[in-house]
Amino acid sequence: MTIHREGYRTITVVAVALIALKLLICKFVSNAWFCDFLVVLTSLFFIFIVSFFRIPSRRLTINDSLFTSPCDGKVVVIEEVYDEEYFKDKRLQISIFMSPLNVHVNRNPISGEVVYSKYHKGKYLVAWNPKSSTENERHSVVLKKDEKEILVKQIAGAVAKRIVNYSIVGQQVKQGEELGFIKFGSRVDLLLPIGTKVNVSLNEVVKGGVSVIGVL
């Protein structure tokens, strides 16, 4: 397991802040039991922060005829929607909710060319709110392989306040490579052609870059 580069600054700031907090409180509180409890509590919180930015070692699924999950999490939506941003027609939407305990690296579900990449300012509704797909802060990327296009939408939530995206229009990307990162929980939507054969069901837990979502 390694630590994602997006976590270096956050981990350092949290470590300094927790140490300063512990020293400050224990300087004015003489209760040794309370100080020991504080050490345990801050240590657990620090471990949580470090684990949030973890990149576990895993064998990725690489197959040109399949598309994989862009993130770790639970499938919370499988439905037809009308996409007003890019396709301007009906698409099959699959939404995956990421809790703060999930790995938060986002990966390309297919290999292909980045033909669209756009950041949208927005609200911070809870990630399971249906309106979060169109009203929350988000970053949309369209990947094209042959004549097929998939839209991947990173969506911020009530806790997530920063979306990182590495996609550049014209760039050739590979399945399983990093697409971006969302800090502290949210969701990722996939917009697929109507009729796409889907390999997952509602409430199924998936792994980014590993779980097969469907067939191209």
How far is residue 44 from each of residues 6, 51, 57, measured CA to CA in Å?
20, 10, 23
State the catalytic residue, choosing from 167, 186, 201, 211: 186
Alpha-carbon 125 to chain mean position? 16
Q: What is the pLDDT of residue 161?
A: 61
Multiple choice CATH, 66-215, 1.10.3470, 2.70.70, 1.20.1300, 2.40.10? 2.70.70
186 catalytic per annotation:
yes
Low-confidence stretches of the chain (pLDDT < 70) are: 123-135, 158-161, 185
